[in-house]
Structure 1
Amino acid sequence: MSKKLHNDISLLSLLLLLSLSLLQTILAVEYTVTNTVPDTPGGSRFDAEIGVQYTINTVKTINQFIWKVFKQNSDAQRKHVPVLTVNITELNDGALGETGGDTIYISAMGIQSFPPGQARFEFTSLMYHETTHIFQWSGQGTAPGGLTEGVADYIMVKSKYYDPGSYTKPGEGNKWDEGYGVTARFLEYCDGLRDGFTADLNNKMREVYKDEYFEELLGKPLDQVWSEYKAKYANI
């Protein structure tokens, strides 16, 4: 091999590595946290017991956990979120947390209501749920709201940051898309029928949601899956 050819290959390799590094930098998520109400009881408790740095570190961990559970191993599979913002603020609708765009809003009053000594645990549990809303697919808004809430709770349950004693039990609920714990437990059941079902369902919902996805993945219509699920726990 000539010296010129060797140098050309080395230069090409260097440019490729630089390009990959630049691409990773472009697609990396930046995390910002702002306490907009530091003088309120909840805002003050956030600063004293949780803190900005803990929140940033926690959201990074949650982000990686979500990608792992969703089996999204490449940037092409993931929702592109350049900047994820967390605002500690006042929510006037009674919610503990909400999302809008790529921003998570956490209620300062909610933080104030956390049991003594449990602020970080309760906050982290809430962040698993809300961060999932940022990164999950929802069929561009066509998925039932109860399903997206159920997927968010499903991630929270997988993380173990929840209270099993007070949480929804398998088989509870009246509709598969009732949301939160009811739907999360149903999704767990579906995982038992097909390993990785919830991740596969989420990834199918990138563009649109269809009930038919259940039959495609499980070989049974959605109504039948729900009926069999309810029957399994009928006498418990």
Structure 2
Amino acid sequence: MSMAMEAPLLSAITTSSSSSSSSSSPHSTAAIAAVSTPTIRTRLIAALALVAISLWANYEASKSVDILVRNSAAGSPAERRFDLDFVSNGRAHRIIHRASHFVEQVLYPDELHPRKPVRRITLQLSGIDLPSLASVSAADGDYTIHLSPAVMSSSAAHAEAAVTSAVQRAVARVWIWDDGKQAAPEPLLEAMADYLTMAAGLRPSSKAACGGSLDQSSGWCWSAEFLEYCETRRRGFVARLNRGMRQRWSELAADDALGLQVGRAYAAYTAAAAARGRVMESKNATWEARQTM
């Protein structure tokens, strides 16, 4: 009789166990799905990150510029000093690299500003003195900066400052959109090179006076100071102006870059400069009067 009493009990246990297994299946599936979702998301994010890094690397590689340093002043004191102070220690290469990086950031801040195709920049110490401390020649994407040996005639500290400034200005001319036919006014090109040198915290090596940069066709003076004034009026002016010089030059390119007629901006700029001049004259006169008391 005890055997008959145990049969239903075993049956109940078996049924309960079967029911428990059946009811836990959906929860197990949900748990697996919950664990799998973050894993899939993490893998997807990692894959997208790798793609982004690859694209960025390719973009940076496309922007890379070969840098060469040469010396044509063989045997001269300037040649020996140039080799010792700028070539053997890699200083010339670093100066060009920093100058190029800075100018590219200003002129080509994003993909809306098509980058000028520059493949190689060569710095070469000339064997003869040049009219300016540095000049630029171009040939199908290859640009050579000719450095006058006169830049090496000063003291070591002054020579380094002069070379850095001259190279910065020359690199600026390399990156400014110019088809070689001087479609844009030469005073504008010179002023942009001066501005990019000043913006880098350097003094232009061959800065022209305002009168020397007068654009006769427009009646105003292109200068680094005026470009700086326009940049403060509308940020990104110089980059947009450079973009406008990519095609055939027009005075409207400057107006479009500034968002108003450049002639009006120049009138305001000269008026402000004149006012500052009167204030300085007044301060100087007051100071002189106090000295005589």
* TM-score bucket of the superposed structures, by smaller chain: 0.7 to 0.9
1:66 counterpart (103, 119, 136): 103
Q: Distance in 1 between matches of 2:189 and 2:207?
A: 18
- Which whole-Å deviations, capped at 9, do the CAs of 1:111-162 have from their partners, x for residues lacking one? 2333442221211111110001111113663101111111111111011122
Q: Distance in 2 between matches of 1:113 and 1:219?
A: 46
Q: What corresponds to 1:146 in structure 2?
A: 187
Q: Distance in 2 between matches of 1:175 and 1:22?
A: 41
Unaligned stretches of 5+ in structure 1?
1-12
Q: What corresponds to 2:161 in structure 1?
A: 121
Q: Distance in 2 between matches of 1:75 and 1:26?
A: 16
Q: Distance in 2 between matches of 1:93 and 1:222?
A: 35
Aligned residues: 223
**Which residue identity is paired with 2:120?**
V
Q: Distance in 1 between matches of 2:94 and 2:201?
A: 18
**CA shift in 2, pair 1:75/1:124, >3 Å:** farther
Q: What corresponds to 1:226 in structure 2?
A: 266
**CA shift in 2, pair 1:232/1:93, >3 Å:** same
Q: Give the Å deviation of 1:79.
A: 1.0
**Which residue identity is paired with 1:57?**
R
**CA shift in 2, pair 1:185/1:106, >3 Å:** same
Q: Give the Å deviation of 1:25.
A: 3.7
Look up the SS of the partner of 1:118 in the other structure: helix
Q: Distance in 1 between matches of 2:112 and 2:128?
A: 33
Unaligned stretches of 5+ in structure 2?
1-48, 278-293
Give the TM-score taking structure 2 as reference length: 0.64
Highest Rg: 1 or 2? 2
**CA shift in 2, pair 1:42/1:144, >3 Å:** same
Give the TM-score taking structure 1 as reference length: 0.78
The alignment status of 1:131 with 2:171, answered yes or no, reads yes
Q: Is the 8 A contact 1:132 1:152 kept in 2?
A: yes
Q: How does 1:1-236 map to 2 (within 5 A)?
A: 24-51=60-87, 53-74=90-111, 77-91=114-128, 93-101=130-138, 102-138=142-178, 141-162=182-203, 173=211, 176-177=214-215, 183-235=223-275, 236=277
**Which residue identity is paired with 1:73?**
D
Q: Distance in 1 between matches of 2:124 and 2:70?
A: 5
Q: What corresponds to 1:10 in structure 2?
A: none
Look up the SS of the partner of 1:228 in the other structure: helix
Runs of 4 or more consecutive aligned structure 1 residues displaced over 4 Å after TM superposition: 13-24, 166-169, 174-178
Look up the SS of the partner of 1:31 in the other structure: strand
- Which whole-Å deviations, capped at 9, do the CAs of 1:83-106 have from their partners, x for residues lacking one? 111111134542211101133333
Q: Give the Å deviation of 1:208.
A: 2.0
Q: Distance in 2 between matches of 1:75 and 1:85?
A: 28
**CA shift in 2, pair 1:233/1:111, >3 Å:** same
Tell me the C-alpha RMSD between the 2 structures: 3.3
Q: Is the 8 A contact 2:195 2:225 kept in 1?
A: yes
The percentage of counterpart residues that share the same residue type is 23
